[in-house]
């Protein structure tokens, strides 16, 4: 699929970040796009940004990708609204963070993160596969992460749910490469593995787990955060609640605003990968370097030496959890 003009594309998580950038760039390239998200106001902002870019039709749909019922409803609405029996491009992009500790974090948070990041991809492929098979040319893009081959944020930070989901996405998509070649050669697939991309995933994840945004955290929520920091060797007993709120807000904004790769750059890399029919798409120089380092010395993947190598190359500068875990 070396061009997107007049193609029908589906993008999950289109309200912010990479999803928003993909919607805008696809519309600019002449595609028709159906996006979903759980937040109507964020999709409205995306639609306002995308509309001037091109004549392609854009539809917005409320959908929690972790629900198969909602995903099937989304599919039915897309085909009806776009008057089509097929789609050409499926981008399973939606994701949230959370559930870092398998031992200590609430099971509900762990499973919520896993459900969005893994089942969102699985249900997306299940729902839209028949419509892809009906196309004369199709492509599936499943968003994994560097945490799909490196299950860590640094030695001092548990990161189990997100990593488990992203490993599942990577393995599933790689398996689809062979199956599609055998049973549906007109449909291609790609697994996307971004490094640190400037998105609002940290801010959105608070909301996705039913919590307040950092600046609005309750005293009870702050108490739980104090405990988490203490377990990581970062006691904050003497820091006022408002300072913790400000610190968390700043951390999330820094992750978004000081990333080495912007959402627009990430979307461009992804769509170029589709045009070039690459099944494996690394996003960002940090992703490329981390992939190489893990492959060269897999036994060091979870040792301080890996972070030292990455930091020597100028990476991990705006990822507080990794940087903090390496402090003496």
Question: What's the CATH number where 294 sits?
Answer: 3.40.50.720
My answer on whether 12 and 146 are in the same domain is yes
SS3 277: coil
Task: Quote the pLDDT of residue 246.
Answer: 79
My answer on whether 168 and 234 are in the same domain is no
Q: Could you tell me if residue 323 is inside a domain?
A: no
Q: Could you tell me if residue 327 is inside a domain?
A: no
**Which element (helix H / strand E) includes 51?**
none
Q: Which of 62-76, 153-167, 306-320 has the lowest mean pLDDT?
A: 306-320
pLDDT in tens, 219-276: 877 787 777 777 666 667 778 888 778 777 777 777 777 788 999 999 999 999 999 9
Q: Could you tell me if residue 28 is inside a domain?
A: yes
d(CA 293, CA 306): 7
Residue whose structure tokens are 């029996």: 85
Q: Could you tell me if residue 71 is inside a domain?
A: yes
My answer on whether 134 and 244 are in the same domain is no
Q: Could you tell me if residue 117 is inside a domain?
A: yes
Query: Which pLDDT band holds residue 321 (cuts at 50, 70, 90)?
Result: low
d(CA 117, CA 68): 13
Residue 207 pLDDT exceeds 70: no
Cα 245 to Cα 101, 191, 251, distances in angstroms? 22, 36, 10
Residue 316 pLDDT exceeds 90: no
My answer on whether 214 and 89 are in the same domain is no
d(CA 91, CA 141): 5
More confident residue, 251 or 173: 173
Cα 302 to Cα 158, 175, 213, 305, 314, distances in angstroms? 11, 26, 31, 8, 19
My answer on whether 110 and 94 are in the same domain is yes
Question: Do residues 75 and 127 lie in contact, with contact meaning Cβ atoms separated by under 8 Å?
Answer: yes
Residue 122 pLDDT exceeds 90: yes
My answer on whether 309 and 190 are in the same domain is yes
My answer on whether 50 and 146 are in the same domain is yes
d(CA 56, CA 222): 45
My answer on whether 309 and 226 are in the same domain is no
Residue 25 pLDDT exceeds 60: yes
Contacts of 16 (CB under 8 A, 6+ apart): 37, 42, 46, 199, 200, 204
The whole-model pTM stands at 0.89
Q: Could you tell me if residue 325 is inside a domain?
A: no
Which residue range(s) make up the domain with 220?
205-258
Q: Could you tell me if residue 38 is inside a domain?
A: yes
Task: Quote the pLDDT of residue 1.
Answer: 92
Query: Which pLDDT band holds residue 327 (cuts at 50, 70, 90)?
Result: very low
Question: Do residues 124 and 91 lie in contact, with contact meaning Cβ atoms separated by under 8 Å?
Answer: no
My answer on whether 145 and 213 are in the same domain is no
Counting residues of the chain whose pLDDT is more than 90, the rounded percentage is 73
Q: What is the mean pLDDT of the chain?
A: 90
My answer on whether 308 and 171 are in the same domain is yes
Query: Counting beta carbons within 10 angstroms of the beta carbon of residue 156, is it exposed (0 to 12), middle (13 to 18) or buried (19 or more)?
Result: middle
Residue 32's beta-bridge partner residues? 8
My answer on whether 161 and 185 are in the same domain is yes
DSSP class per residue in 217-253: --HHHHHHHHHHHHHTT---TTS-HHHHHHHHHHHHH
Residue 282 pLDDT exceeds 70: yes
Number of domains in the chain: 2
Cα 237 to Cα 150, 232, 243, distances in angstroms? 32, 13, 11
My answer on whether 87 and 31 are in the same domain is yes
pLDDT in tens, 123-158: 999 999 999 999 999 999 999 999 999 999 988 789
């Amino acid at each position: 699929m070396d061009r997107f003009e007049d193609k029908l594309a589906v993008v999950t998580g289109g309200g912010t970040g990479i999803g928003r950038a993909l919607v805008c760039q696809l519309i600019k390239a002449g595609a028709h796009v159906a996006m979903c998200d759980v937040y109507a106001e964020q999709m409205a902002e995306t639609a306002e940004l995308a509309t001037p870019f091109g004549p392609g039709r854009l539809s917005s749909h409320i959908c929690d990708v972790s629900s198969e019922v909602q995903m099937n409803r989304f599919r039915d609405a897309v085909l009806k609204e776009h008057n089509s029996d097929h789609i050409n491009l499926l981008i399973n992009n939606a994701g949230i963070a959370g559930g870092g500790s398998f031992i200590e974090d609430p099971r509900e948070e762990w499973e919520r993160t896993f459900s969005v990041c893994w089942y969102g991809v699985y249900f997306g492929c299940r729902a839209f596969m028949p419509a892809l098979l009906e196309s004369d040319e199709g492509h599936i893009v499943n968003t994994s992460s560097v945490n799909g081959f490196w299950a860590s944020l640094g030695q001092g930070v548990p990161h189990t749910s997100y990593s488990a989901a992203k490993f599942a996405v990577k393995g599933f998509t790689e398996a689809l490469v062979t199956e599609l070649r055998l049973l549906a050669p007109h449909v291609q697939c790609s697994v996307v593995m971004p490094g640190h991309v400037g998105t609002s995933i940290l801010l959105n994840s608070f909301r996705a787990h039913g919590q307040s945004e950092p600046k609005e955290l309750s005293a009870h929520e702050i108490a739980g955060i104090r405990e988490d920091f203490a377990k990581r060797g970062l006691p904050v007993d003497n820091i006022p609640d408002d300072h913790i709120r400000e610190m968390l807000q700043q951390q999330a904004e820094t992750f978004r605003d000081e990333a080495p790769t912007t959402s627009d750059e990430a979307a461009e890399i992804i769509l170029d990968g589709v045009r070039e029919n690459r099944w494996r798409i690394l996003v960002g120089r940090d992703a490329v370097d981390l992939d190489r380092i893990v492959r060269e010395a897999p036994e060091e993947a979870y040792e301080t030496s890996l972070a030292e190598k990455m930091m020597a190359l100028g990476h991990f500068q705006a990822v507080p959890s990794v940087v903090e875990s390496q402090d003496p």
